[in-house]
Structure 1
Amino acid sequence: MATKSERTQQRIIDAANQLFYRKGYNRTSFTDVVDEAEVPRGNIYYYFKTKEDMLRAVIKHRMETTRLMLSEWEKSIKTPLDRLERFVQIMYDSTPALLRSGCPMGSLNVELAKDQPELKNDAKQLFDLFQQWLAKQFAQMGYPEEARELSLELMARGQGIIVIAQVYQDPGFLERGTKEINRWLENLDRYA
């Protein structure tokens, strides 16, 4: 069972995670996090000396959550194609959030890439985790030589669809795009 201190720290991380996603990292202040987490201002400095420390804790939390999700998919979803389609389903399931704020990984990486390369390298770990997992699925489908390129293509297609759907506030585009990705995956599976 988590201690009161661990629960407070997690509340701060959860609040920062949501704010970094909704508002962006650079537009989120310590005060925003204090208000969202509903903790005394002094508490935040006890756990995080800088906003960069907070971002790194958020990235670590996202990585842990993602690893658990992917591990669960490995156990519960029988085929690599079904696991890849489950990955694509996240986009469709997240339509309202994606239309409002974009992809949590993509928007953070784009924001940090502009003038904070050291933090962007930390945030890139999220993409790396998905890319490696996706490549493993493609290799298991029968594409060991092309696995990396196919994983990058899948991520690029997804990110592009999310950006255009957000720009035009078009949930139908997101739905059609995810269906097209699934057709592409099914064709790959057929020819493997």
Structure 2
Amino acid sequence: MTNSTKPRARAADKRRRLVTEATRVLHEQGVERTTLADIARAADVPLGNVYYYFKTKDELVLAALAEHSAHLDALTSRLDELPEPRDRLRALVEAWVGQRDVAARHGCPTGTLAVELDKRADGTLDAAVGAVVRRLLDWTGQQFRALGLPDPDGLAVTFVGAYQGMSLLANALRDPDVMAREGARLIGWLDSLSAPGRTA
């Protein structure tokens, strides 16, 4: 590694740490309660250095939302390796249920941001979080479409809405078992669906 690439690598590492920790801390504390100092401390980066990468907290929130989007893309890419769309949807529910302890403590990472950012006046950040939710709805709708089911986009809203509801209740009740029970119910609902002219 040359002398010129070392600083670039260090800078990329600092930025990566800041985004990773911003994603975690914003989920745990919320946007309004989180300061740039909180994120700098979590990332082990001097506060003054943060401004080199992100001029405002909103820029860090946007970077965290991009991280959510990248995580969703990575997850759905893995699920796309499964041969059957119903299996992909089941596996998605299982992935959600696998995060039940985190959901019980802090709620859905994207859903909690969506609720909080909706209160903002400028509309930039809530549009960005809405785009992440739309990606999930679009992917889910594709699975229902591949199953030949009527109203695949409506089914996607029902499916994602069920996830958001069970995350919210698990968080409100501080009970991860809500996710496990409702996840099993959601899989049962998936298994009960059949295209016209077919049995489930």
Q: Which residue of 2 aligns with 1:164?
A: 169
Letter in 2 for 1:56: L
For structure 1, the 5+ residue unaligned runs are none
Q: Which residue of 2 aligns with 1:93?
A: 98
For structure 2, the 5+ residue unaligned runs are none
Q: Which residue of 2 aligns with 1:125?
A: 131
- What does the per-residue CA deviation read over 1:75-95, in whole Å, with 9 as the maximum and x for residues that have no partner? 2x1110110011111221011
Taking structure 1 as reference, are residues 73 and 92 closer, same or farther at Cα in structure 2, changes over 3 Å only?
same
Post-superposition shift, 1:20?
Answer: 0.5
Q: Which residue of 2 aligns with 1:183?
A: 188
Query: Which residue of 20, 25, 28 maps to 2:34?
Result: 28
Q: Determine if the alignment matches structure 1 residue 42 to structure 2 residue 48.
A: yes
SS at match of 1:114: coil
Q: Determine if the alignment matches structure 1 residue 83 to structure 2 residue 88.
A: yes
Letter in 2 for 1:162: S
How far apart, CA to CA, are the structure 2 residues paired with 1:79 and 1:19? 36
Post-superposition shift, 1:191?
Answer: 4.0
SS at match of 2:119: helix
Post-superposition shift, 1:171?
Answer: 2.5
Q: Which residue of 1 aligns with 2:153?
A: 148
- What does the per-residue CA deviation read over 1:50-95, in whole Å, with 9 as the maximum and x for residues that have no partner? 11111111111221222122112112x1110110011111221011
SS at match of 2:118: helix
Query: Which residue of 102, 113, 116 maps to 2:107?
Result: 102
Q: Determine if the alignment matches structure 1 residue 173 to structure 2 residue 167.
A: no
SS at match of 1:161: helix
- The count of aligned residue pairs is 190
Query: Which residue of 46, 54, 62 maps to 2:60?
Result: 54
Letter in 2 for 1:88: V
How far apart, CA to CA, are the structure 2 residues paired with 1:170 and 1:16? 25
Post-superposition shift, 1:35?
Answer: 0.5
**Contact 2:103–2:176 (8 Å) recurs in 1:** no
Letter in 2 for 1:90: A
Q: Which residue of 2 aligns with 1:136?
A: 142
SS at match of 2:55: coil
Q: CA RMSD in A?
A: 1.6
Letter in 2 for 1:180: R
Q: Determine if the alignment matches structure 1 residue 4 to structure 2 residue 17.
A: no
How far apart, CA to CA, are the structure 1 residues paired with 2:160 and 2:193? 16
